[in-house]
Amino acid sequence: MLLLENVKKSYTEPNGALLPILDIPRFELSEAEQMILVGRSGCGKTTLLHVISGISHADSGTVQIDGLDLRRLSEQGRDRLRAEKIGYVFQTFNLLPAFTAIENVLLGMSFSGKGADRSRATQLLERVGLSHRITHKPKTMSVGEQQRVAVARALANRPKLLLADEPTANVDPSNQQSIIDLIRETCNEEKIALMMVTHSMEVAGQFDRVERLDEINQLSKVTT
């Protein structure tokens, strides 16, 4: 369902110098497969998730999702693909501050074109332990609560691929496990492929497939 071939990505530094981050010859994730991505801070994990989701573009190479090549899609086509097929839990949550928890989840659904389903939104918020915070706005929630809203929002539109960037970084151990359980169970039930970044070995240890970005990225092999 996800295929990367010869994907390269660099950033341009303020002085104009190129900062190469990714050079991935090949990477595949099957339909409904669940995997963990690990690697040292700054090695390019978030960059890779951004390239896969189409938030930023690869400099070269192919990113194919569910048979669609991102480079062959218009900007609008990429937006549609992202809304319909990808759920994304951002490291920084990216909740809309003017809206309540449930409105944030419902908005994510309405962008997908599948329609806002209030009972699913409520159910997801209950499952992340936020039934008492449904009508709270992000600034009146703790960081861990905001992160749990972000998880509910990413799952709400029944994506084909869930990209989760450290979804348990700001929650306590008991909520960490319930978020991992919710993500895994929902992905299992709805056949969603999962690529999740974590620094937690406890979380990584629960998955059969754990990839080190350093090992799939040619640049890390050269520089480390």
Ligand X SMILES: Nc1ncnc2c1ncn2[C@@H]1O[C@H](COP(=O)(O)OP(=O)(O)OP(=O)(O)O)[C@@H](O)[C@H]1O
x-or-dash pattern for ligand X, window 74-103, by CB under 6 A? ------------------------------
Binder among 4, 34, 47, 182 for ligand X (CB under 6 A): 47
Which one, of 166, 161, 134, lies nearest residue 149 by Cα? Answer: 134
**Token couple for 25:** 């010859």
CA angle centred on 205, ends 202 and 210, rounded to 5°:
125
Q: How far is CA 30 from CA 58, 63, 141, 161, 192, in A?
A: 21, 14, 36, 10, 10
x-or-dash pattern for ligand X, window 8-27, by CB under 6 A? ---x-------x-x------
54 binds ligand X (CB under 6 A): no
160 binds ligand X (CB under 6 A): no
CB of 190 to ligand X, least distance (A): 26
Residue 40: alpha-carbon gap to chain centroid? 18
Which one, of 63, 135, 77, lies nearest residue 105 by Cα? Answer: 135
45 binds ligand X (CB under 6 A): yes
Q: What is the number of other CB atoms lying within 10 angstroms of the CB of residue 206?
A: 15
Binder among 29, 33, 34, 46 for ligand X (CB under 6 A): 46
Q: Of 35-43, 92-100, 106-114, 177-185, which part binds ligand X (CB under 6 A)?
A: 35-43
* Four-CA torsion 70, 75, 76, 82, nearest 10 degrees: 50
Measured from the CB atom, the residue of 43 and 116 that comes closer to ligand X is: 43
222 binds ligand X (CB under 6 A): no
Binding residues for ligand X, rule: CB under 6 A, are 11, 19, 21, 39, 41-47
